[in-house]
Each structure stands twice: as C-alpha cells, then as structure tokens.
Amino acid sequence: MAADGGLSGRQPKAVQSALAVLECVARLGAGVTAKEVAESLGMPPATVYRLLNLLVGEQYLVRLPDLSGFALGRKVAGLAGAIAPVRVPSAARAVLADLRKEVRAGVHLILYTATTLRVADMDPDLPLQDPALVERHLHATAAGKLLLAEQPEWRDLVPPAKLTRLMRATVTRPDALDACLTRVRADNWAGQAGELHEGTACLAVPVRDAEGSLIAGVAVTSSRFTVSVDYLPSAYRFVDGLVPLLT
Amino acid sequence: MVTVPAIVLAGAGRATLPAFVAATVLVLLVGWCVSLFAQRLAAVGGVYTYTARGLGPVGAVVGGWSLAIGYAAVSMSALVGCALYLAALFSLPSSSVALLVLLVGGLAGWCTVRGIQLSARVALALEVVSIAVVLVVLAVLLLRLPEGLGTAAPVVDGDVRWGGVAVGVVLGVTAFMGFESAGVLGVEAQRPLIAVPRAVLWTPAVAGVLFLVGAVAQVVLLRRAPLEVLMSPVPVSALAGETGWLVRLLDVGIAASFFACVTGSVNALARVLFSMGREGVLPAAFGRVHLRRGTPVQALSLCLPLVVGVPFVALLAGAGGRSVLTGTITVSAFGYVLAYVLVCAAAPLFLRRIGELTVWPVVGGLVAAGLWLLVLVVALGGESWQGGRAMSWAYLAVLLPGAAWAAWLALRRPSRLARVGVYDEPTVASVLPGSMAA
C-alpha cells in the first residue's frame, strides 16, 4: 500500500484516527452510522467520513445494503486470526493420528480464518520442511490454494506482483492461477507438485462447517513428483470425522 | 480534441479558449461529485444509478434519458465525422459520405454485438494512436507557422456573444465525453470503491490537458489560415494539407478515433437502455441479452438503425456533412449537460440521506449544478448562432417524451419506478463472519 501512496510514516495522527474509527465500528457493532462514529469519537465529521470511505475502499470495513450502516470487513478477521492462539481439540488430534497410521505420508491440520491460514498440527514423524513458507506463499501450496479459491477475489490477498517464482513449477501467471482456482472450486480439493520444494507434492482437502465456510483443511505431503491422488479417499473419509470436532 | 475547437471558434470567437477552460473546470467539478458516489457504491448503471440514489427515480429517469440522447447523438456525429475523414483520405466526393456512414455504421454494429471485450481493446488502441498522431501533426504545423494573418482571423478573434460562449462551454463537454462511464464498470473492477473514483477524477484531468493543448494549437493555426479551412468539413486535415504523407496518417488517425467513439457510445447507450429495461422502466425487451455473447442484443438492435439512419437520411436530404456533425454534437452536449446538472444536484441529497453530509459537497454540488444549469439555459436559448436554435428545439423535442414517460410512471405506475437504481450490495462473504449477527 505504501509503495504508490508515498506514505512516509510521518502522519501518525492519521493512522491513529483510522485505527480509532476501526475500533469504534467494532465496539458499536454492525449497522453503526457515520454520524454515530463521529459523535462517539468526538472527531470532525468530515474527517471521520473520509476515513470510513478509505477503510471501506481497503475492505477493512463494508457498507451495509442501506448504505448508511457500516460493519467490519473480512480483512479484520485476517488481523485477528494472526494473533489468536491455535487450539486443536484432542479428539481431532486422535482422528489425525488414525489417518497418519493409514497413509505413508505427512498429514497436517491447517486452520483457516477468512483471509489467513495457520499450520495447527504438524505430522511429528514427517514434518513440513518449513511451515512459515506454507503460511506465506499461498499461491504455491495446496492449503493456500484452498484459501485463495474461497476468496471472491484472490488478488486482494496476493497481489499479482507477489506471485513469487519459488520453483520452476510455481504458478506465477494470474490467468494460470485463475484456471487453477476454478479447478479447485470444481473438485473441492487442491493439489500441487514441486511448486514450493523440488520433489515434494501436496494435496489439501477442506473441512467445512454447516454453512459451507472453509474452517480447516487436511494437507497430505509426500516426496513425489506428481500430486498423490491415491491419498484422496482416505483423506475425505477422515475429514468427515473432523467436522463435528472442529465446529 | 480535433473537431470541437473549429466548431466553437465559428460561434464563440475570441472567447473560445476561456470557454474551454471553464468547461474543463466545470467537468472536473462534475467528476468530483461523481466520485462522491463512486466511493460509496458500485453500480451497473453509473451516473443513472447515482442520480436515482439522490434525486429519486423520476430525476434518474429524466437524467438517464437525457444521457441516452447524448450517447445516441454523439455516436451519430462520430459516425459522420468518421465518414468525412475517410472521404478526405480517399479524396471521395461529398456525395459518398452518406454511403460511408452506412458502411462504418455496419462495421461498428458488428463490433459491438461481438462483445465489449473486443470493442474496449480496439477503442483504447485507436485512441492512443490517433491522439499521438494529432499531437505530432499539430506540433509539426506549429513549427512551420506561416507569416501574417489569414482570412479566418476575423472569425477566430470575433466578437464575444454570451450565447456563443455558452454553446462553447457546452460543446467543450464533448471533449470529455464518457469520462463518467468508468462508473459503469464499477461492478467488474477489482476494488471498485478505490479504482472508480480515481478514474473519474483523473480521466477529465488528463483529457482536459490534452484538449486545451489541442485547442490552443488550433486557435494559433486557424488564425493564420484561410476562412475555407475553418469552415471546411475536416478543418484539421485541411490545415495539414501541405504536409503530404502526414495528412494521410492524420486522416487515418482521426477517422479511427471517431470510429472508437462510435463503438464506445453505442455500447454506453445500449447499457443505459439495458439497465432501464431490466428495472422495468422501459419495456422488458431492452433487458434481453445475447445467449452466448452476453451483450444486450435487443437494445443494440433497436438503437443501431437509429444511430445510422438519422445522419444517413439527413445527408441524403442534402444537409452538409459539417452541419450534420455540428448539429448532432450540439444535441449530444445538451444531453450530457442535463445529466450532469442532475447528478451534481443529487450528490448532496444522497449524502444527506446516508447521513454523511458535510459543507463541501453541498457547496460543490450546488455550484456545479447551478452553473451547468445556467450554461445550459443560455446555450439552449442561444441566439444568432448557426443552426443553434434548431438544435435546441430538436433536443427538447426528444427529451420531452422521456420526461413525460417518467411523470406518467410516477403518477400511474409508481411500482415500476421502485426498482430504479439497483446497486451492488456487499455479499455476505465480504462481511466479517459473525459481525452481522448483532
């Protein structure tokens, strides 16, 4: 964001005010009007309106259908998700342990918020080479592709300029990623081979709550050169068992 | 950038450049008012939807109808312009212009029915190339400026008449034609609430600079030119008459840019009619789309014959190419200006409705609406201006059925107006899960 706007960090007041507006919308709840925010903060209305429109433009807030009310946007969920401690119920861990016995590959549990993912439970015997990479390069991992496929517009999470080429096989062209995500939506699972590490393939199967939102995923990694689709049936069977434990 | 200065010079004389500066400033004000809406909602109907949010359905239907007149008339005039420059390119007799109109109209129709994807890319490429060519030619001509004044000088430095100035300002609008249509694509853009306001503010700024540069150059050049050049159907081409191969390139460039203008305005016209058809203001047939291509075929097939037919008949009836061009562009400018008046007046009302009214939008909206209204009224009543009065009547005659229709709907069929101004609502997915429960 800073690149084009030339934000020098020398407008601390503006940043403080924007955060105060965000906080105020969170406190007063969905449907709060611009005027109420201005009154509650004691700030000049024109400033508050401008900040509200900026935050709506950046999708930290949304306007409700009547156009006068505001609510927190999905990007806020991403902020919150990044600091919340990860808790996996022990019953869910038991289900994962069963799956690990059945497949000869690394089985990991991924937890999702609306815009982020966390590696919540890594296979102790066959760990991920670098979980931080999985959380950062969404376009190059199976778990990340599941999350991107869930977005109304993936470019909001990963600007096309940030489609880093990590390996030769990494998808870096926006239209190629578009096609890939369309396939993910149709198949309801995601896979990649050699996009993050040479010679490592991965597939991820979603865990959805009753409304169909993506809440978690089971990722299966193996040292192969193609996506190991033969693990799909077992992964799906265990995912069904995870749904009641994670929702 | 090319046509308007010569036309306005004939009516406004010495006041041409000030009139253009005024037009640029006023259009920037309109852009600002439109951006107030664009920051807050993403709408398929563009200015039409914005007006509906502020002034209610009747204002929106009148504004939308006026805008549709503007789009239709400008595509007619661009069609004639394209035919005129093509005729100049191939040195065809003036009797062939009517046939060229048919030909170009058919080609433009084919482009628009094939889908906006094609037309948008073609238009952009044509526009960039032709602007570059025009700038180069004007620069070359300025470098070889002839000595002494030409016979056109008395007209270029002619007396100032208020009617002429007002028409000059109104016609200046046509140089910014379609800047507000960025709003139409709001729904398809990725971050519409940021991208559209930016486009609506910057497009007129960039266009204004190009337009003023072109106008200054032409005023300087035409002052030293014979009167025949100023009054010719293709003034810029006539100016460049001595430059040999460059003039061919110029003719191609200008004809191409007129062609881009035809496809662009026909698309915009079809979209407005399509929106009205969808909302039940116009017969539902307008809201039908091509099954495979997704283009509003029905609306296109109704407006294309009109757009081609009117100038064709006028030319056959013996009207000169230049007067058809001038007449249609004047009607179109009237159409735009009324739509601008309404959308500027709608801005403060809209902000009040959603409880975000501050001082500046009130001042800006009222000043812009008031000044544009004043200019429009003076221009409509513009006296002693070549054919100006006839065009005022023509515009009012076309506007009247639209206004009457809106009034009839409001009195008799208010339910059909209820859906005017559909805008995009945030999808549940874009609201933070759980925060809507409250």
**What's the rounded mean pLDDT across residues A102-112?**
89
Interface contact B433-A213, CB threshold 8 A: yes
Angle separating helix axes B3-12 and B321-353, nearest 10 degrees: 90
- pLDDT tens track for B284-304: 777 777 666 667 777 888 888
* Beta carbons within 10 angstroms of residue B228's beta carbon: 12
For residue A177, the model assigns a pLDDT of 92
How confident is the prediction for chain B on average, in pLDDT? 81
**Residue in A35, A62, A114 nearest the CB of B355:** A35
Nearest CA in chain A to B188: A153
**Amino acid at the residue A54:** L
- Work out the minimum CA distance from B341 to partner chain A, whole angstroms: 23
User: In the CATH scheme, what architecture does the domain B3-430 have?
Assistant: Up-down Bundle (1.20)
For residue A3, the model assigns a pLDDT of 43
- Work out the minimum CA distance from A14 to partner chain B, whole angstroms: 18
**Is the per-residue pLDDT at B437 higher than 50?**
no
Q: Which residues contact B346 (CB under 8 A, 6 or more apart)?
A: B37, B50, B51, B53, B54, B55, B59, B365
Lowest pLDDT segment from A162-166, A185-189, B12-16, B357-361? B12-16
Angle separating helix axes B245-279 and B116-143, nearest 10 degrees: 140
CA–CA gap between residue A74 and residue A94 (Å, rounded): 32
Asked if the interface predicted TM-score (ipTM) of this complex is over 0.90, the answer is: no
**Residue in B41, B425, B430 nearest the CB of A59:** B430
- pLDDT tens track for B3-36: 778 778 777 778 888 889 999 999 999 999 999 9
User: Are β-strands A106-112 and A32-33 bridged in parallel, bridged antiparallel, or unpaired?
Assistant: unpaired
Interface contact B430-A35, CB threshold 8 A: no
Interface contact A67-B427, CB threshold 8 A: no
Q: Would you place residue B352 in the very low, low, confident or very high pLDDT band (cuts 50, 70, 90)?
A: very high
Residue among B250, B267, B197 at smallest CA distance from B38: B197
Angle separating helix axes B97-114 and B245-279, nearest 10 degrees: 50
**Is the per-residue pLDDT at A145 higher than 90?**
yes
Q: CB contact, 8 Å: A127 with chain B?
A: no
Backbone angles phi, psi at A158, to 5 degrees: -125, 100
For residue A204, give the 3-state DSSP assignment. strand
Share of chain B above pLDDT 90, in %: 16
Q: CB contact, 8 Å: A1 with chain B?
A: no
Contact B273, B296 (CB under 8 A): yes
Interface contact A31-B429, CB threshold 8 A: no
Which residue of A49, A153, A157 to mutate against B (max B Cβ within 10 Å)?
A49
Lowest pLDDT segment from A104-113, A156-165, B80-89, B414-423? B414-423
CA–CA gap between residue B156 and residue B144 (Å, rounded): 20
**Is the per-residue pLDDT at B189 higher than 80?**
no
For residue B390, the model assigns a pLDDT of 81
Chain B residues close to A58, C-beta within 8 Å: 194
Nearest CA in chain B to A150: B429
**Better pLDDT: B322 or A84:** B322
**Is the per-residue pLDDT at A85 higher than 80?**
no
**Residue in A57, A65, A152 nearest the CB of B429:** A152
Chain B residues close to A60, C-beta within 8 Å: none
CA–CA gap between residue B350 and residue B49 (Å, rounded): 11
For residue B295, give the 3-state DSSP assignment. coil
CATH class of A2-72: mainly alpha
Q: CB contact, 8 Å: B53 with chain A?
A: yes
Domain boundaries in chain A? 2-72, 84-246
**Is the per-residue pLDDT at B427 higher than 50?**
no
- pLDDT tens track for B199-249: 888 888 988 898 898 888 888 888 888 877 777 777 777 776 666 677 788
Q: Would you place residue A7 in the very low, low, confident or very high pLDDT band (cuts 50, 70, 90)?
A: low
For residue B434, the model assigns a pLDDT of 44
Nearest CA in chain A to B40: A53
**Better pLDDT: A88 or B186:** A88
CA–CA gap between residue B181 and residue B318 (Å, rounded): 35
Residue among A61, A63, A37 at smallest CA distance from A49: A37
Q: For domain A84-246, give the CATH number.
A: 3.30.450.40
For residue B436, the model assigns a pLDDT of 41
For residue B196, the model assigns a pLDDT of 82
Chain B residues close to A185, C-beta within 8 Å: none
Nearest CA in chain A to B35: A53
Nearest CA in chain A to B433: A74
Lowest pLDDT segment from A5-9, A129-133, B373-377? A5-9
Interface contact B193-A57, CB threshold 8 A: yes
Q: Tokens 């230049």 sit at which residue?
A: B322
- pLDDT tens track for A163-180: 888 888 898 899 999 999
Q: What is the DSSP string of B241-269?
A: GGGTHHHHHHHHHHHHHHHHHHHHHHHHH
Q: Tokens 């439109």 sit at which residue?
A: B34
- Residue A74: C-alpha distances to residues A32, A172, B21, B70 (Å): 17, 25, 44, 41
A77-91, B277-291, B298-312 — most confident range: B298-312
Q: Which residues contact A73 (CB under 8 A, 6 or more apart)?
A: A55, A56, A59, A60, A61, A62, B430, B431, B432
Q: What is the DSSP string of B42-69?
A: --SSTHHHHHHHHHHHHHHHHHHHHHHH
- pLDDT tens track for A15-32: 899 999 999 999 998 889
